[in-house]
Structure 1
């Protein structure tokens, strides 16, 4: 499941919210669920945060609420469910908040309490005395008062919510938010014990949001309830921090495949183990041969990848020490890369690899063939004659790869290639991805 599921009423807000979670270190993706929520189900296991846009800001309240319910059902379970609303409170703020609270209650089988902290300090949206301000002015004094579809005639957050929902609310004023932490906890606890369903909070800074969410979590200790949020994004990020939600999609190890018997390659692999802590595994050969034993080699690599962590480097090499070098016939020289590649493919069918490094031209060609790749999309040279890119075509399409010949570079070249590969996959881990609903023909 995802750590966080967010339902957003438009794509721009969805992207901004995902970016906020990505900046907090969580892997976030946006998805268009306007035509159906099915896409969400396939994404929650791949990302820490899934932000689904329903494109419902200007739809009738009942339609917007139905889309929220559908997304929550498709993405359930999640440790935190959020309703991303407009920073100027346009649209179906009350209807979508109530739908989120009700649906999570149905699915969780527990009391659900919402926290609505509509401030977005970095964007000049502040909440003071329960009044939403845009660059210091009330909403009805700004251009949103003349919005063609949802003109804003009031800035009172509780009043805006009451226009579409009957959820009982309680305002946490600035004096309480900025006062003693224990007083803030006590006020939230009293509101919870009184049966309040929705807390509305003043805030003008990110620190205020952190204080509010930390106090909310503390105040609810010992109570059987689930928190949800309704805000433009920063409040939800703060609540995720307060709940201790962390990255779960940690990625997968990098795999080094070496079929080169050169002395330089051996020194490069030794340097990789010494400098980057790579675990080195020799490919088991057939008796009295340099040709890999396919079954034994697959078993060794299976075990190595199963034991590897997301930040590990697994080396699978036919030659590690000088003593591993054997006389090789022309026939065996053809078989070595094919059997090695077959073992790699079998192991990769059972274990996720986030990046691949190959050394030796024949081995690289054999691995690409076994993985069903049509070729490489080259992003550039790491060092002269050592390139990086992604696989094109086949089941592993898009997999990051770096590759070089057995006699390319110096002792530190393999380390440089793996550092480049690591940096590339780490950037992708934090990339805010976007997926669209697949339409039936």
Structure 2
């Protein structure tokens, strides 16, 4: 068993860095021609670490123009999230979607007279289309602008959710009786993912494995905590910024660069170093977990929203709330069990996956019955809609994705028909693919503002600014974050029936 304290003992202590220092450095860089980070989010849960930023579920030029205008007019931090949902797509579809977003972002930026940088936001447990997505972004930028990418910076860490990178190894913090220990991510259920499994937690080896040797492990630049915290003894962030930029200097032709991260201060130190490297002329893309953007733009950590803040500016419906659970990871099932046990007044309705995958007429009839039951139950109180907990798996990744899409389409149908019949007080969607499809198609959200987290550092609240769900708080809840009580805690905060 690996103790976190023992692993960290080999490295310098934390270097205290205020978010304002990063924001000030960014403001200087942006003084002449502003730069906005366009975050291609492969599922909507990447917004859980930020606040008051625009998010798009569509990415036509006019959508990105709306986001750039919102940032300029509201003095929001310079980042916009584009919900690509590519983790639910096959590689060819994911590549095409990344290219389309980048082309449209570059076109909208040219019209607005701003610069853009690109962030490929993916999973803190290393699942997703890598290196495909940063490859496509780099190739598209080069084709459109002639600008070649020197380095792809990999930062999967998500300390709020217990995911840390130390010594170039990616870990999960142990929980319960294992608290205080570190578990290599390759030893967890996430490494066995049917579509995106992997065999190693050593990030340089992970890069070599996923790139099929195109990037050998020894070609990967590792920014370990000795570099990230180089200024710790003098409490001088400038020392760390120089050390990081110096380490990045050899990067060329999309060299992978892995960063150790344990704390928010490490994100800020990295942000200062990346800013210095880019000031020197390095062209970088980012492949990251959720909190990276918060650190990179110098945003303070937002405290969890209160119930009053969740409904601020809107008159909540008298209907019950709708909690939709699609994720099948073990943590989600435990959270669902706690919620159903504690929220005894809620109506529990199951979508039977076996019926969905059966005859078309049977599937349609099952969905019709489900919608009728949900609408009726919302008139009295909260409703928990969950897919059956038996996960139907195959050894074929493409077939696994097809099944996942079929199930998600059914969930979307139930939510959309419910919304247009009897709008709920709030909607919580549990699971990455589930929350993406519910946002874009179930609630028909096109533009929204991320207001902040419902729990510290995790679980995002979106405020839809257009469409039939305008004014209904929408909670994006990843399948793999929180503890067993978290889903119940968020529901209790929003509900008048709990």
TM-score (structure 2 length as normaliser) = 0.43
TM-score (structure 1 length as normaliser) = 0.48
Question: Rg: which structure is higher?
Answer: 1
**Which structure is richer in relative contact order (CA contacts within 8 A, separation 6 or more)?**
2
